[in-house]
Amino acid sequence: MSKSNGANGASGERMLRMMIVDDSNIIRRRIERSQQNARLQVVGSASNGREAVELFQKTNPDVVTMDLTMPEMDGIQCVERLVSLKPEIMILVVSALADKATAVEAIEKGANGFLCKPFSDRQLNDALAELLKEA
């Protein structure tokens, strides 16, 4: 798989392609509308893990927001799959599952951050900024 296009934003930092994965349309739209990081460009969204893998292969994102409870292929399985396809991918899990064990499992499978639903715009943007610190 090819690397991202490497285009730079106004700050001179590399632009990053972002994919949103959630079975809720309103959450997908909310994340797209609310994210204000100048380095991120949303390249697509998917409503389950299977669709996410297909979209990943078409759009080659650098950053993914990932729900966990989804039909067809759940978020944990999808995290594992995406990490196997692109180990350097940055994944922010955005889920209502608030138990510590689930967050730990997601991180162990390769996610880089965890944001619990419900979330405010500020919490979303802070979580994305934290994720991009290493990018």
Partner 1 sequence: MTTAAEIRTFVEGTTNYFEVSARQPASVGSPYLVTEGAPGVHEYTGIIGISGARKGMVYFTAPRAMLTVLLMRMNETDTSDENIKDLVGEVANTISGNARKDFGKDFVISTPTVVAHDPKLVNPPTHVRPFVIPINWRTHSAKLVVCLE
**Positions in the binding site for partner 1 (CB under 8 A):** 23-27, 29-30, 33-34, 69-71, 95-99, 101-102, 116-120
Minimum distance, C-beta of residue 89 to partner 1, in the bound complex (Å): 24
Type of residue numbered 37: N
Q: Which tokens belong to 7?
A: 């285009």
Minimum distance, C-beta of residue 20 to partner 1, in the bound complex (Å): 14
CA-CA distance, 53 to 60, in Å (whole number)?
10
Minimum distance, C-beta of residue 116 to partner 1, in the bound complex (Å): 7
Minimum distance, C-beta of residue 66 to partner 1, in the bound complex (Å): 14
Query: Which residue lies nearer to partner 1 by CB, 69 or 84?
Result: 69
Query: Which residue lies nearer to partner 1 by CB, 24 or 84?
Result: 24
Query: Which residue lies nearer to partner 1 by CB, 1 or 26?
Result: 26
The answer to whether 135 and 16 are in contact (CB under 8 A) is yes
Strands 63-66 and 113-116: unpaired
CA-CA distance, 94 to 64, in Å (whole number)?
10
Query: Which residue lies nearer to partner 1 by CB, 13 or 121?
Result: 121
Of 14, 23, 21, 5, the closest CA to residue 56 belongs to: 21
